[in-house]
């Protein structure tokens, strides 16, 4: 099967495999900048005392940023191996195994939601965004942090980094071969303007985005209607 078009079960199995090297790969791939991006995402949408969902929480670093921002946090992911690592990081967060495309929560359950490097992996992006809109209360805030494609000078650097350096680094690490999947998943993902449009269609208003690292990463925010 072509990388980047894996169905959900393939994506889950892939994250189970790369869980042991996931945090180290994040630090290397982002030169340690991901911590700041996660903090800015949490601070953009979480207020003290908010009930917060971090969907596709993986090993939990964005959920931890939500906790530090004052949220009462639930982290959800369908990969048990990723969640095992998350659980070791905090007992103050409720960690739930579940599907972001069929969230196990009632309507209006959360005041804020975050997704870090997760929406790109969803088999049905529109459905995932609709689920987030459903579980947020009207006026609830969403922050989506995701890799995107820069334009201009950085585009060339980006191609070399994601198509050559990252897959090569991945091959050095046990289970890291799956990092060849990453460039394909970024390539087929909508650019920042298109993602903003999809958020509006899913029922979010006041949709905006900021770019980090010269346009390699985008933070989209919106308010559930």
Ligand X SMILES: C[S@@+](CC[C@H](N)C(=O)[O-])C[C@H]1O[C@@H](n2cnc3c(N)ncnc32)[C@H](O)[C@@H]1O
> Interface with ligand X by CB under 6 A: which residues?
8, 11-12, 15, 26, 56-58, 61-62, 77-79, 82, 99-101, 116-118, 121-122
Tell me the two tokens of residue 154.
Answer: 């950085």
Decide whether 50 or 61 has the Cβ nearer to ligand X: 61
- 3-class state of residue 188 by DSSP: coil
Decide whether 11 or 73 has the Cβ nearer to ligand X: 11
On whether the CB atoms of residues 195 and 220 are closer than 8 A, the answer is yes
CA distance 182 to 4: 7
Closest residue by beta carbon to ligand X: 58
Residue 13 CA: distances (Å) to CA of 143, 149, 168:
26, 26, 21
CA distance 79 to 60: 12
CB 152, min distance to ligand X, A:
26
CB 111, min distance to ligand X, A:
19
CB 116, min distance to ligand X, A:
3
Residue 101 CA: distances (Å) to CA of 9, 41, 150, 187:
13, 22, 28, 22
On whether the CB atoms of residues 118 and 190 are closer than 8 A, the answer is no
CB 41, min distance to ligand X, A:
9
CB 98, min distance to ligand X, A:
6
Decide whether 127 or 225 has the Cβ nearer to ligand X: 127
- 3-class state of residue 217 by DSSP: strand
Decide whether 58 or 215 has the Cβ nearer to ligand X: 58
Decide whether 9 or 201 has the Cβ nearer to ligand X: 9
């Amino acid at each position: 099967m072509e990388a980047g078009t894996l169905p959900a079960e393939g994506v889950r199995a892939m994250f189970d495999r790369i869980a042991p090297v996931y945090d180290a790969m994040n630090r290397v791939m982002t030169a340690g900048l991901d911590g700041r991006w996660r903090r800015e995402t949490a601070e953009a949408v979480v207020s003290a005392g908010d009930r917060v969902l971090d969907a596709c929480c993986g090993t939990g670093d964005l959920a931890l940023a939500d906790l530090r921002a004052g949220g009462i946090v639930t982290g959800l992911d369908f990969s048990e191996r990723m969640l095992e690592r998350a659980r070791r990081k905090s007992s103050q967060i409720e960690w739930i195994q579940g599907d972001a495309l069929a969230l196990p929560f009632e309507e209006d359950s959360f005041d804020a939601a975050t997704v870090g490097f997760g929406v790109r992996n969803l088999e049905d992006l529109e459905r995932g965004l609709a689920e987030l809109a459903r579980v947020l209360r009207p006026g609830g805030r969403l922050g989506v942090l995701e890799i995107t494609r820069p334009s201009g000078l950085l585009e060339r650097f980006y191609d070399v980094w994601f198509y050559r350096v990252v897959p090569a680094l991945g091959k050095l690490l046990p289970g890291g071969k799956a990092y060849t999947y990453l460039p394909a998943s970024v390539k087929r993902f909508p650019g920042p303007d298109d993602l903003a449009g999809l958020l509006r269609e899913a029922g979010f208003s006041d949709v905006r985005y900021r770019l980090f690292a010269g346009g390699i990463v985008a933070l989209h925010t919106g308010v559930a209607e």
